[in-house]
A = this chain, B = another copy of it.
Amino acid sequence: MDVKDPQQYNTLLQGNEGKKDTLPWLKQKASSKLTKKTLYKRIPVLGWAPKYDKAAAVGDILAGVTVGLMVIPQALAYSGIAGLPPQYGLYGSFIGAIVYIFFGSCKDVPMGPTAISALLTFQSIKGMGPEHAVLLCFFTGLVQFVMGIFGLGFLIDFISGPVSSGFTSAVALIILTSQVKDILGVHAPGSVFTEIWKNIFQDIHNTNAWDTCLGIACIIVLLVMRVVGQMKIGPSKGELSSFQKCFNKSLWLLATARNAIIVIVCGFIGYALYDGTSPLTLIGAVPAGLPSLQPPPFGGYNRIENNTEVHVPFVEMMANLSTGIIVTPLIGLLETIAICKAFSDGKPVDATQELIAIGLANIANSFVHAFPGAGALARAAVNNSSGVKTPLGGLYTGILVILALLFFTPFFYYIPKAALAAIIIAAVIFMVEVRVVKPMWRSKKSDLFLGVCTFVACLVLPLEVGILVGIGLNVLFILYHAARPKISIERLTTSRNTEYLMITPDRCLIFPSTDYVRNLVTKHSIRQGIPVVIDCSHIYGADYTAATVVETITKDFALRNQPLFFYNLKPSVSAVFEGLSPQDFVVYYDHDQLDDLLEKQNAKKTDTNNIV
């Protein structure tokens, strides 16, 4: 849409964004559905596929394979976070990535298992096995898809920066905690931070020295490789020699493939030390082949309890998942949108489309026994720096995972659990957002307070309750903000030397603030006893409650015979106030009018006195 005439542009915008009323999306839907533009927006592949060229193909293949090398060890490891056998992570790493190609609006999003979604799965299924995880995956997708259809992507706007930082940092610490037990080789069940640490210390005497040594060694190697990958030789400005370029590229490749390298090396160590039993804790047998394609367990499932089969009906499974069905989709969206924003280069992000894309991807995943996934930030960064050009990169990632499932599973047997734990720990420690503390402190201290509250709440309460506490606190901040406008009060003098009181509220008059404003206006008006002007320049909205208060105030002033005027009231707000037909309600828009109004009022007052 190109508008040439500036005047037309202004009008258009005021009609479009300037006057949004209740339920604007309903109107938008009604008018914009079923157009070609909408179709291209909702199935983005239609837009980029016709323009696909060789350069894009090379970028996508390189990036897709690199991400594939990264996702295989991560998938095995994240299954552990979710409390599931290792193959479930792989099951969630191919179909979803391929579905995302068609519907995703952001080229960098690698759809698959993430640390956060694995942890949310773990907390939601409460150790109840893969059937619950698969059902959660389906409903996560369904909720996301439905939210997308109804344009509810704006809901994540209510997760502010501080809450998001507090949540992510807490998640990182909880994941780290859950992996410490694998590094130590101890047994420590539980899902809440404090609970896991207590259990670790109770079982600390069972520490397995082999696991611990290997784990710590892996963490150190991974961190060193990460640092090495960011180093570059040669001058920082100017031309590099081809050797320097090649060396820098190799360093970067080494760092990017560090997880795969660690897994392969440790796999060989595990294999070498294996003679029927192993001093290391290994991940053990991983079933070979692709998962069977079947619907999620809508009819419930049978679990074995004390050697007898017990049927667990669907309703009971849903009750077990409880709030996980709401929180998992939202956090998945939050993760994905964070990626889109990070790599959007200033272009707007379409939360609605991302909801539809990851929703469908999760639904598809639930038919191949996966647990819920989302866009993973660490893989997105690698995807981006590997030069991905379109979402098609996901295809190559998916193919690599399928090959791994078909041919490499026998080798997974020997991978030590401690190596996977090391991979996770070396990744999540950078998710603890210590770096935001200083700018937050300098920028707004109450936001830091909020972030810390969310962080602590997520650590000591179940994760989904913790983030709800953070969001709730944040909403209270907004409400307080709406309820307590700042009001400046000045004694001014008109051009004809009449003193009056100018009262200026700084924001909209809506119900939680009306009584506060009324009390302040009344207090200062009575104390000063001179004419009062309420400056409404900043009042862009009002409601019925405000209108009733304005009616009362004008009545009170009339009873006291104290003049009261409203200055610069927007017509839309004036209409709200006049719905109650208040008497003695005088609005003026020009400072020069004030003197005339005051004289008129004086004359009226004298008249009234004469009659009485």
Residues of B near A552 (CB, < 8 A) are 341, 346
Q: Does A547 contact B (CB under 8 A)?
A: yes
Q: Are A442 and B522 in contact (CB under 8 A)?
A: no
User: Which listed residue (B439, B448, B483) contacts A157, Cβ 8 A?
Assistant: B483
Residues of B near A491 (CB, < 8 A) are 6, 9-10
Q: Are B541 and A481 in contact (CB under 8 A)?
A: yes
Query: Which residue of chain B has its CB nearest to the CB of A163?
Result: B511
Cα-based distance from A484 to B560 in the complex (angstroms): 40
Chain A 12-52 interface mask (CB, 8 Å, partner B; 1/0):
01100111101000000000000000000000000000000
Q: Are B507 and A507 in contact (CB under 8 A)?
A: yes
Cα-based distance from A576 to B439 in the complex (angstroms): 9
Copies of this chain assembled into the complex: 2
Q: Contacting chain B: which of A216-224, A385-393, A471-479?
A: A471-479
Cα-based distance from A474 to B510 in the complex (angstroms): 10
Query: Which residue of chain B has its CB nearest to the CB of A528?
Result: B9
Residues of B near A443 (CB, < 8 A) are 543-544, 547, 575-580
Q: Are A482 and B483 in contact (CB under 8 A)?
A: no
Q: Are A479 and B486 in contact (CB under 8 A)?
A: no
Known: A512-B157, A540-B486. A442 touches B478 (CB 8 A): no
For the complex formed, measure the closest distance between the CB of A478 and the CB atoms of chain B, giving whole angstroms: 5
Q: Are A579 and B444 in contact (CB under 8 A)?
A: yes
User: Which listed residue (B17, B341, B506) contacts A487, Cβ 8 A?
Assistant: B17
Query: Which residue of chain B has its CB nearest to the CB of A556?
Result: B346
Q: Does A440 contact B (CB under 8 A)?
A: yes
Q: Does A447 contact B (CB under 8 A)?
A: yes
Q: Are B475 and A10 in contact (CB under 8 A)?
A: no
Known: A20-B486, A488-B13, A540-B506. A444 touches B346 (CB 8 A): no
Known: A22-B446, A161-B544, A508-B507. A154 touches B483 (CB 8 A): yes
Residues of B near A519 (CB, < 8 A) are 348-349
Residues of B near A346 (CB, < 8 A) are 522, 526, 552-553, 555-557, 559-560
Known: A160-B543, A346-B559, A348-B518. 4 other contacts (CB 8 A): A22-B446, A160-B545, A439-B544, A443-B575
